[in-house]
Structure 1
Amino acid sequence: MIYTRPDGIQLASPVPMGSYSPDDVVFLLKDLSAIALERGTEDREEAIQGGKHYSEMLPIEYQPSEPYLRLYEETLRGTARRVATAAAVVAEQIMAKRSGDVVLASLARAGTPIGVLIKRYMREFGDGRNPAHYSISIIRGKGIDDNALFYMLQKHPEADIQFIDGWTGKGAIRKALIQACDKFKRDYGIRLSDDLAVLADPGRCSETYGTQEDFLIPSACLNATVSGLMSRTVLRDDLVGPGDFHGAKYYREWTAEDRSNAYVDEIARHFNDVRTEARNIAADLLRRKDENATWKGESDVRRIQRDYGIDDVNLVKPGVGETTRVLLRRVPWRILVNDRDNPHLAPILMLASERGVPVEEYPDLTYSCCGLIKPLGRDER
């Protein structure tokens, strides 16, 4: 079947990408693997703060040290059951909210391993459900990949789309999704649910979540090697045409270091044990749905901006997942923590030590931690 845009432009066909089985996920992304898109951390940071959009280039992928990899494996073993519970809670809510067919649309790339877990749970415990699962791009400041949406809507005309991500920080992607769905309705007359299902929602900005606690999801510790060997997504007019999906690179050369399938396998093996607990938690969350999405985390971000004299809110990255990203691919200035003894912070404290980044305790923090990106021109530490 040929899939098209409303203006008649033919959509590109999905190409095999990533190290997951196609039974787990199909990437609706254009393969840009042959193009040199990476820029050094300092150079990229200067470009971003100078006005260049982050989606026009890629960071050089962090190569973890052996001690850090050992810490990652320890963290995975220690949290696998908890992550399995959160994934199962989300899956149970999705099945309860959407009685008909559903398509899972993970937001690349942090959402992809989470979407794989949710699909596996639904396939095993969903009474015959085996939802299609795609990984698609959404980019802050530019929006969602409309071509990916058109492809899913035409290939699965009877299904609802459920968006999935890993966690929330201050809610930037949640806001981007709301805006994207509103724009899609204005432009094409098609209303999509902007519900974003996440494992952890410390920002209090999602209506479907596994927990609101800011705990460490191990996939946040690594980059491509725990996300199907995929890069972040790229959107540049000279690389992405009218019928193309947003772009990404598939790092095939790191196959020997890939942990993507081992990660989801380790977590999924706990599903049967946590199933009853997850159903009970999900049922309770569904009863308390009016308490969701309070956006409480935004007040913390405003307080941090004020206390540290930061004008650009995009330089404040709250939560374990976002703080880890700051340390892996930005120029960190400070790391704020609610408690240095918090066991979820061990990988963050190791990365901060490796990079010589100061760690400060910050009282009454809603999140476990917060990463501050160094503003250009500010030399003090």
Structure 2
Amino acid sequence: EQLYAQALAQGTNRCATDIAHLAHTLHHTFQHTIHDECPLVLVSLVRAGLPVGVLLQRALADANSSYALSSVHYGVSIIRDRGLDSVALQMILEAYPNSPIVFVDGWTGKGAIYQELAHSLEAFSDPNHPYFASIYHQGKGTIPLLTLADPAGVAWLAASTDDWLIPSGLLNSTVSGLISRSLYTEPQSGLHRSVFYDNLVEA
């Protein structure tokens, strides 16, 4: 907790500025196609993407800002060697069939999760797929991944390529909605699972 407090003291202004810059870019990119009936869909990759997605959603919801944009936010499990929760993604696509999706993560590290995401989205890469435009709205082959930090150089949109200490990267579940790392479930059995850490609510 002390390390988190130190990282927060050092990184608060940078984090806030980076979020504002990302929100401004999203506003500029989607302002002519997004409206209340067709919001931008932010899909945070559980777990590191959740705190970033929450901050970004709050920024876009600020009606007094110059970058306000109609949006909704979800967290979806992604597991190495298992991929994105396909059941969850299908539910989102069906709920917002005409909305563009932007995937949100904290950082790219070595790019492993990006590769996992790209592999999971291959099924939608055919321009004739009914949800192609929802995912490949930046062009065929462009995965719309947004991050605060992109040291791997693979994100579609990132605040920087610096490998800096993002405060939310330190405390895991306590800043990720109090949920555990996601637990894989076969698609035919439903959504991926997680554990809720109610003993950490006070923290």
| TM-score (structure 2 length as normaliser) | 0.84
Moved over 4 A (4+): none
Separation in structure 2 between the aligned mates of residue 248 and residue 177 of structure 1, nearest angstrom: 19
1:320-331 to 2 correspondences below 5 Å: none
Other-structure match for 1:122: 60
Gaps of 5+ in 2: 137-142
Identity %: 36
Shift of 1:80: 0.3
Give yes or no for contact 2:27–2:68 (8 Å, CA) kept in 1: no
Give yes or no for contact 2:44–2:103 (8 Å, CA) kept in 1: yes
Other-structure match for 1:244: 190
Give yes or no for contact 1:85–1:210 (8 Å, CA) kept in 2: no
Separation in structure 2 between the aligned mates of residue 155 and residue 86 of structure 1, nearest angstrom: 30
The residue type paired with residue 86 of structure 2 is D
Alpha-carbon deviations, 1:293-328, whole Å to 9, x = none?
xxxxxxxxxxxxxxxxxxxxxxxxxxxxxxxxxxxx
Give yes or no for contact 2:27–2:69 (8 Å, CA) kept in 1: no
Change in CA separation of 1:221 and 1:98 when aligned onto 2, cut-off 3 Å? same
Other-structure match for 1:211: 160
Other-structure match for 1:74: 6
The residue type paired with residue 58 of structure 2 is R
Other-structure match for 1:87: 19
The residue type paired with residue 184 of structure 2 is L
Alpha-carbon deviations, 1:263-317, whole Å to 9, x = none?
xxxxxxxxxxxxxxxxxxxxxxxxxxxxxxxxxxxxxxxxxxxxxxxxxxxxxxx
Other-structure match for 2:83: 143
Other-structure match for 1:53: none
3-state SS in 2 of match to 1:197:
strand
Change in CA separation of 1:133 and 1:218 when aligned onto 2, cut-off 3 Å? same
Alpha-carbon deviations, 1:28-61, whole Å to 9, x = none?
xxxxxxxxxxxxxxxxxxxxxxxxxxxxxxxxxx
Alpha-carbon deviations, 1:52-88, whole Å to 9, x = none?
xxxxxxxxxxxxxxxxx22321220221010111112
Separation in structure 1 between the aligned mates of residue 3 and residue 151 of structure 2, nearest angstrom: 23
3-state SS in 1 of match to 2:121:
helix
Give yes or no for contact 1:104–1:134 (8 Å, CA) kept in 2: yes
The residue type paired with residue 221 of structure 1 is L
The residue type paired with residue 29 of structure 2 is K
Separation in structure 2 between the aligned mates of residue 71 and residue 146 of structure 1, nearest angstrom: 36
Give yes or no for contact 2:101–2:144 (8 Å, CA) kept in 1: no
Shift of 1:243: 5.4
Separation in structure 1 between the aligned mates of residue 88 and residue 25 of structure 2, nearest angstrom: 24
The residue type paired with residue 88 of structure 2 is A
233, 248, 256: which one aligns with 2:182: 233
1:179 aligns with 2:119: yes
1:158 aligns with 2:98: yes
Aligned length: 185
The residue type paired with residue 123 of structure 1 is A
Shift of 1:185: 3.9
Other-structure match for 2:51: 113
Q: Hey, which of these two has a bigger chunk of helix by percent?
A: 1
